[in-house]
């Protein structure tokens, strides 16, 4: 008979089904979960490292290098973009705004010239015919240039479309007016009035709106070119703060006042801050001057010149209408009021004189104001002759550019002074804005170079302290 004797000894426990072996590493994870846990592991590792002085110094050094290089990248891109923006003002945006202005001015002058030519007895003078043709050609060329930048801007494209469609209609009406007038048909005057009405009611408003779009974009880009670089300023402040913290920390731990590497890094950053501040101040002053004394003054003068041209057209159309031009006479009064105020005192010319800072342009504008006052007096003499029944004498006085007492002579002198002042204001804009761009010269590469110097200085400065712990 066999008996079972229990054996004494250590018992081996069998783990329950589904439980992990005691030796399993509960901290290890794999797959997607492991990847997601990497940032947390990195933070925990950095925290453990920061608990020791060498570890903290290493983190400070890495942070200074990263901030230095980030500052270099942001500064290089920011300064290069600003420099490109200022250059674009001179080379692209202002010429487009000037082209839109030229469309308006040339068409206004064409209207005045066509009306003057219609009053000239006999065959049309070659000078007036050439001036009208030149105005139309300039308007077409300026419209093509202004239209080159209208893609993607629905409002500008709409105005360009109106101008492109209606300008041939206007020139066709003027051609019909001239053809009928040469044959002695009275209907020629009706064609001329219809052409002028089309120009004033449809074409010129579209040209003015196109100019407003371009002028608005010019002002926006001028604002962008002088705006404060906030992001760059924040990065620089962070870098300066980090350098101050690093040097304070080292002083407490090592009791050393100076660290050559960090001093080099601080000097490089300080030079960047000083260079940037001076360059941006100079650039802002020059670009601002180019805006106030250049584009804004040119805008006033262009509007004044256009008002003068429209007033001249109304003056001649009043005579073309032969007693039925009350609306044109009212138009002359309104446009002359815009140009020089009541009886030649004030208006856009007065505003331009008050805002002018250039002595040569100021004298030119004062002469233009005097010629405008003389024009108003000459216009009254023409109206007196016409209203008294001496229509032919009124016409002869109105179009005689050789007679110093005629409106034509006074208008011509005022127009010449305005044209010269506009050209001078635009030249001043180019000079001032180009000087503003020059202030940023080498600043973008300076950020790239000095940021590397700052990073190397921080690396060497922290490395020297770390070697003391080995």
Dihedral of CA 226/208/359/355: which sign?
Answer: negative
DSSP 8-class letter at 120: S
Q: Is residue 26 part of a domain?
A: no
How high is the pLDDT of residue 63? 87
Segment 232-252 shows an average pLDDT of 90
Q: At what angle do helices 296-320 and 407-438 cross, to 10 degrees?
A: 160
Q: Is residue 185 part of a domain?
A: yes
**294 token code pair:** 């250049």
Using alpha carbons, select from 336, 317, 339 the residue that is nearest to residue 418: 339
Q: What are the angstrom distances between the C-alpha of 463 and each of 50, 241, 242, 251, 278?
A: 16, 20, 17, 15, 34
The total number of structural domains in the chain stands at 1
Banded model confidence at residue 368, pLDDT cuts 50, 70, 90:
very high
Give pLDDT tens digits for 66-85.
Answer: 999 999 999 999 999 998 88
Region of 32 please: left (phi>0), alpha (psi -120 to 50) or beta.
Answer: alpha
**Backbone phi, then psi, for 469, in 5-degree steps?**
-95, 0
Q: Is residue 22 part of a domain?
A: no
Using alpha carbons, select from 309, 319, 118, 99 the residue that is nearest to residue 200: 309
Lowest mean pLDDT, pick from 3-12, 345-354, 356-365? 3-12
Q: Is residue 256 part of a domain?
A: yes
How high is the pLDDT of residue 182? 82
Rounded Cα gap, residues 398 and 400, in angstroms: 6
Q: Is residue 15 part of a domain?
A: no
Banded model confidence at residue 391, pLDDT cuts 50, 70, 90:
confident
Q: Is residue 6 part of a domain?
A: no
Give pLDDT tens digits for 190-202.
Answer: 898 899 899 988 9
CA dihedral 89, 90, 93, 98 (to 10 degrees): 140
How high is the pLDDT of residue 35? 53
Give pLDDT tens digits for 90-129.
Answer: 888 888 888 888 898 899 889 888 888 887 776 677 888 8
Q: Is residue 458 part of a domain?
A: yes
Give pLDDT tens digits for 27-43.
Answer: 445 555 555 555 555 55
SS3 158: helix
How high is the pLDDT of residue 233? 93
Mean of pLDDT over the chain: 83
- Can you give the residue range of the structural domain that contains 87? 57-467
Q: Is residue 9 part of a domain?
A: no
pLDDT over 60 (residue 131) = yes
């Amino acid at each position: 008979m066999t008996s079972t004797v229990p054996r004494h000894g250590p018992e081996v426990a069998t783990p329950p089904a589904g439980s992990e072996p005691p030796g399993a590493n509960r901290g290890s994870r794999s797959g997607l979960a492991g990847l997601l846990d990497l940032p947390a592991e990195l933070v925990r590792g950095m925290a453990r490292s920061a608990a020791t002085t060498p570890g903290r110094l290493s983190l400070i050094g890495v942070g200074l290098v990263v901030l230095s290089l980030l500052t270099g990248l942001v500064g290089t891109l920011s300064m290069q973009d600003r420099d490109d923006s200022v250059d674009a003002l001179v080379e692209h945006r202002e010429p487009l705004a000037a082209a839109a202005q030229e469309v308006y001015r040339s068409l206004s002058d064409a209207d005045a010239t066509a009306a003057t030519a219609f009053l000239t007895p006999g065959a049309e003078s070659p000078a007036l015919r050439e001036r009208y043709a030149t105005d139309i050609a300039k308007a077409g060329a300026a419209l093509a240039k202004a239209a080159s930048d209208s893609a993607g801007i629905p409002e500008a494209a709409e105005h360009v479309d109106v101008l492109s469609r209606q300008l041939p209609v206007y020139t066709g009406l003027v051609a019909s007016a001239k053809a009928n007038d040469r044959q002695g048909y009275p209907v020629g005057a009706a064609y001329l009035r219809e052409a002028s009405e089309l120009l004033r009611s449809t074409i010129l408003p579209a040209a003015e709106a196109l100019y407003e779009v371009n002028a608005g974009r010019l002002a926006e880009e001028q604002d962008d070119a002088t705006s404060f670089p906030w992001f760059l300023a924040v990065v620089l402040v962070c870098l300066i703060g980090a350098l101050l913290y690093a040097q304070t920390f080292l002083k407490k731990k090592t009791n050393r006042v100076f660290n050559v590497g960090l001093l080099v890094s601080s000097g490089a950053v300080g030079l960047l801050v000083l260079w940037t501040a001076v360059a941006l101040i100079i650039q802002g002053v020059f670009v601002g001057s180019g805006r106030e004394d250049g584009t804004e003054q040119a805008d006033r003068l262009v509007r004044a010149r256009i008002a003068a041209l429209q007033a001249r057209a109304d003056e001649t159309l009043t005579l073309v209408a032969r007693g039925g031009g009350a609306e044109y006479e009212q138009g002359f009064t309104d446009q002359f009021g815009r140009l020089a105020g009541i009886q030649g005192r004030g208006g856009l010319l007065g505003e331009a004189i008050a805002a002018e800072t250039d002595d040569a342009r100021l004298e030119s504008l004062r002469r233009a104001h005097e010629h405008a006052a003389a024009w108003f007096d000459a216009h009254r003499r023409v109206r007196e002759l016409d209203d008294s029944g001496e229509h032919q004498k009124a016409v002869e006085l109105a179009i005689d550019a050789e007679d110093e007492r005629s409106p034509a002579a006074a208008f011509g002198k005022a127009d010449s002074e305005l044209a010269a002042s506009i050209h001078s204001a635009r030249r001043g804009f180019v000079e001032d804005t180009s000087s503003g761009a020059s202030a940023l010269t080498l600043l973008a590469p300076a950020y790239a170079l000095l940021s590397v110097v700052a990073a190397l200085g921080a690396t060497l400065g922290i490395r020297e302290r770390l070697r003391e712990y080995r």
